[in-house]
Structure 1
């Protein structure tokens, strides 16, 4: 910035803008030039909605732009490479070439607000210029001069081109900006380097910046209108527009209205689409008035629904014969960025559901979205989503098709493809929208586009009614086509043959079932000699063991060996001879040893291990069944093949799988009564039990589960579980005394019958 004497300055202004060698266009007749777009700035507006005059805008200065330093290039936008110097090379005066008229070079001024971090916002003059055919003039640069008349503030900016301009080149310049004071007149002149003796001048008066108008508004979502009311005063302009990155795009005529406060203080504006970026601007109608903006629907949920997508445009840019989907997307709210992924439609109907494809992130380049290695198909779609709303766009392109024909116990797939591709297919069973497959996958490949013949794939099917899943297997993202052929069409003989075969098979199956059921009723295959081993937890636990033994004896017809039922023999010969004798009996009769395990069993087992390590083979209690059984079990586990004679039983709620020692890993374990069907199957020798008879066993197990003894056993287990959790003594619940007595009587009765 430089200061000169007022007299000399006025002389320079007069010489530049009123002499015959210069051109001074009036403010009304100056040609309009559009300012270049500034990327990264938050500008509210660049022109009035009716297109006349200039308006205030806000320009937020970036770091390094503090103060009116014209040598800062980050305030300058051009379409040519330049440097800022005091003088440019070849700055001599030249004669204007024939046919070139500098008098029509556009130069326009507009008022914006410069807001620095260290000061309040102030008016500022933006300069926009365009020079046509800069190459013919052999321009080396441009000089811009600024002068505020009242204060003699003067700025000069010289731009020197780094490269020589071509004949058809047009130079465009936007400078932000020359600081000015409100209420003062400024003059901006533009001249060329080299000097052709012609200068273009503009003068502009910066009006006093008044306060924003005070207004109220209301809206009707049903009528799609916004009502604006203002206070008495100067005339006010109200308009609706869609706020974009740099401008606010005006809607139709019904969205703009000038309020003459002498006749009315309100206006009703209408809009087409309810969008979150719909902006209401209210400002004084005079030139260079500041605009106040509000966004009525930015937090309204209805603004993020169907209108958001109805106002959008989709343009398919996918390359033909290329495994790529590409779409150009645009909508009025360009500052909002949707999330985009792939989805696969259940069918080609317009309103069918579209299932998301995992890990299908779509690459975005500006507002163009694309993804490679994808099966381009009308059912393979882009899903655009923003907040709680989404929209599906599908391409209108099909690169391949398949037809299915039903043969004799086979399906013939005919593929027609316009591109080289690999296709896979497998049989499946339809289950709702899914098709479950456990069959082999068959693949076929087309290697060249020159091959016009169809490729064929044959699938042998195992059952009538099977469907086929078909998909492209040479791309990362593809959907599975589910095709269910019509087996009835032209296949009457095949259906008759299949029906006869099914009838014969069903008759034979019923005969075999009859024999099996007769055999099971006469002698259940799971009937076995069972030795029952348990830990002496408590009196109620002994009653539970008695109920379980009675269940095995009555419901499963097993020969149960229980020390509680053979107390006389145990007292006569001792627990050790009795246990080993019964163990040998179980082995001779191919029976099983059932070990009932509880949390207390784990404690006794650890004590037994500790005692064994401390005193070797000594036995502390000759009447202890559990310790004797553990010694016998450890001996059998060391032999390996004898561990198959043991089953470990634990009741739900009384023991967990973690309570069972790791050394018992070779013993089969059953959780009752959940695993009762498995226990019944294991009690039968696998060599004698056919696989097709298992459903018969399940039927009888279901019947057994409804029996009275089964219900009694369940009550016993539940009562023991409650007692174990509460920690109360067995005799404290007086309401259960009658049940305890009945169970004790049951044990005594069973003992008497066994004796």
Structure 2
């Protein structure tokens, strides 16, 4: 490859001719070629210039070598009157632009990214013989491990939409050459629709020790986020920021940071906010036991000096002066008492003391003592009212028990749903339908329900397979008293028809379009429950009325409650809550169903648009390529009937 030219210096010899030998030796594979060139110089020519000087040049233009190879050039006389000339020539590597354009082994691969049911990455006009390596890495997270995958020019790599984040980048290079130039591309960096995946995959770690609370926030990509201490009076309440505790989060500083001067208390939590939403809320002291008090107030020292000392009440994240506080009816009297307890007697507990003193400290003060001293008659009145209530409870025990239970639990979503495990099973008709299911799952998770859907468990599905993954999730639902929600669509109905026709009681072969979908495999476990009468209380059937006709649901699945969404969302949520039908609960669920319905409507409209587009394409016979990716493209699936 190329020409290798070296000046040869003459040296006096004996005989009629003076001879030099030049050897060209490669140091690295792929070639083991060796060339020897002999140069004969007449003795008479050498005698004219006895001093050492250039006599001529030798050019050899066709020597096979590889980029970035090392070539050894030796020159010596025959016989050897002087020391050998020993040189090493380094061949330019593929990073030289001229070689990339002219030498085939140095070619840089190109890729094509297509967005279909999943995202496909394919090498364009790649070699069918030479192997490639495709590496996925997160551009802004150098410490996170990357993954390599082997490809040929005819194959492609598939990524689920739920696994894509904006900073996901791709490297591709030829694996059979060590100096191969790599193509690096970041095709998703300007796609804001994948930003939610970054938040969903982010993680907040808390480690309490003594009076220091250390924390670390990690995300795959750059995020604009803030972290703060917050106070949650009880599990059903919102967590409100503690003033002056908010900090900006640096995603790439992978070191534990800390809040100092923290007192362990079950109501003290940490939350992360970003894009005007609360992304993480964790309470590291949930298991801490504190003395119970009848009434307490959260105070903050707004000014602290020898000449000026003032307090304010923390109400929903704001610092309100005591006289203006809505939570203290006797603030004028209490202000003097609280100041005395804080400054002189130190009776209030320091929830957070950022400077290790009273400056800016957050204090938790009990009001029991002041209430007993200031209002003894109020206690007598309270006792009389309590006795009256107890008397009424004796008279109408059953009715009042339901009311008390409603007052305590029914007015909070946590009390209603108790984080009940809910497994969503569906068969995706198209991408828009998958987004609709994910919207429904997210809305149910916010209630909160412990929602399980295959979209959020791609890794487990790949490792276990759909059959084993669903079987494991179904056992957890049965053990924890949860519920399985079967969402029917056109694809789900087609899957049921195929299941009945494939004679599931014997081992057979079935094909499904989505390798990650658990619906097809789930039928092997679901139908025996319906056939053997074990479906009651465990299953609920639903469909979206704008996309599927309820009457088409097979009769065997109508043995359990069937709901059309979103018109029957209230009854659907009531069934998931597994509770008594009371008026307070009905009213609360109606409010939740209205919020969920508004979230679902946009996704339903997108599904209708998608189905309209698919229908139009079918009329013109233009679905040859999309049928393979949108309709049932069945791969082999082995089906076993489970008891």
Indicate whether the TM-score tops 0.5: no
What is the TM-score with the length of structure 2 in the denominator? 0.32
Q: Which has the higher helix share?
A: 2
What is the TM-score with the length of structure 1 in the denominator? 0.27
